[in-house]
Amino acid sequence: MILTVTLNTALDITYRVRELRPHGSHRVSEVTERPGGKGLNVARVLAALGHEVTVTGFTGGPTGRELQARLTGTSGVVDALLPVSGTTRRTIAVVDELTGDTTQLNEPGPTVTPAEWSAFQKTYESLLFGVSAVALCGSLPPGLPVGAYAGLIRTARTAGVPVLLDTSGEPLRRGVAARPDLVKPNTGELAELTGSHDPLRGARDTRRRGAHAVVASLGAQGLLATTPDGTWHATPPTHIPGNPTGAGDSAVAGLLSGLVEHLPWPDRLARAVALSAATVLAPVAGEFDRSAYEELLGRVTVTGEAGAA
């Protein structure tokens, strides 16, 4: 069993409109909805790969109920979300049919009270028993301390559970200092954290700041891993056209599944890159194309070497 934590879950809504014009009125031609927030996306991909996953975090209000109703239909995913008095946020992606571009509107999410945060920490600690890994994913909702992830990382380390962190800004900085097993920043997050725009230098600096291993997402250029076992660069076989929404979450699922299956780093990275590319290719944002994944898996290039990074 793998555990994913999504403190700021969301109902992801996609609208298709002909052309978004500010201050105009638009008929939405198509509405799709699915449970969202990075940890839920990661869980869905892990379940599709055959892993059992428990999801936790917060849910509240009518949007939270709708999210949980949709989660119930996702096989392989166990719902251990905690109720809060606030309302789960919606995110709205407005897809412009003329250009294919997307405009994003994100609600802030519920304000979590200190009592709700305490209750969560207890639940989290009990959920850690018997899981093979935990992923802490996404932004913090209003009301949580900026060191929230740092605390959850220390709890996981005490419980002996490998912990992956995928967040940004100050919660990432504090989290890295709590010595997680793996962080997966993109180049922007890495630059914000370390001040370096060179991903290799930034990743090495992130390890010095406390992260055991760093897998930097380079977008279309694949993944760069700096780990105690070596440094590798994994790249997709070709430029992949499509929608990058959810590609990072698929990479996290690839890395996490590779970790619990004790795959060597090059295999973990190949899986993460192939899943990520197969997500960009999928017609529905955030889903992955399974046959593309299987086809791409053997064609990812991994360069680098074993040895202390």
Stretch in the footprint of a copy of itself (CB under 8 A) among 27-35, 40-48, 184-192, 284-292: 27-35
289 is catalytic: no
Query: What does each C-alpha distance from 253 to 157, 182, 257, 275, 303 come to in angstroms?
Result: 20, 12, 6, 8, 21
Q: How many CA atoms lie within 13 A of 250 on its CB side?
A: 29
CB of 184 to a copy of itself, least distance (A): 20
Structural tokens at position 189? 């997050």
DSSP letter (8 states) at residue 77: E
Report how far Cα 302 is from the mean position of its chain's Cα atoms. Answer: 22
Residue 262 in the binding site for a copy of itself (CB under 8 A): no
Which residue in the list 229, 249, 267, 289 is annotated as catalytic? 249
- Inter-residue contact 10 to 93 (CB < 8 Å): no
Report in angstroms how near the CB of residue 43 gets to a copy of itself at its nearest.
22
Site for a copy of itself in 54-83 (CB under 8 A): 62, 65-66, 69
Based on C-alpha coordinates, what's the Rg of the chain? 19
Number of residues that bind a copy of itself (CB under 8 A): 29
* Closest approach of a copy of itself to the CB of residue 78, in Å: 22
CB of 97 to a copy of itself, least distance (A): 13
Q: Min. distance of Cβ 23 from a copy of itself in angstroms?
A: 4
Question: Which position among 43, 92, 136, 148 is part of the footprint of a copy of itself (CB under 8 A)?
Answer: 92
Residue 24 in the binding site for a copy of itself (CB under 8 A): yes
Burial of 257 (0-12, 13-18, 19+ CB in 10 A): buried
Q: Is 24 exposed, middle or buried (CB count within 10 Å of its CB: 0-12, 13-18, 19+)?
A: exposed
**16 lies in the binding site for a copy of itself (CB under 8 A):** no
Q: Which of 52, 107, 125, 192 binds a copy of itself (CB under 8 A)?
A: 107
Taking CA 41 as the corner, what is the angle to CA 261 and CA 147, rounded to the nearest 5 degrees? 90
Tokens 């890994």, located at residue: 133
Nearer to a copy of itself, 140 or 302 (CB): 140
* 102 part of the interface to a copy of itself, by CB under 8 A: yes
Nearer to a copy of itself, 102 or 123 (CB): 102
Distance set, CA 232 to CA 166, 196, 226, 273 (Å): 19, 19, 7, 12
Q: How many CB atoms lie within 10 A of CB 130?
A: 11
Residues that are catalytic: 249
Interface with a copy of itself (CB under 8 A):
15, 17, 20-29, 31, 62, 65-66, 69, 92, 94, 96, 99, 101-108
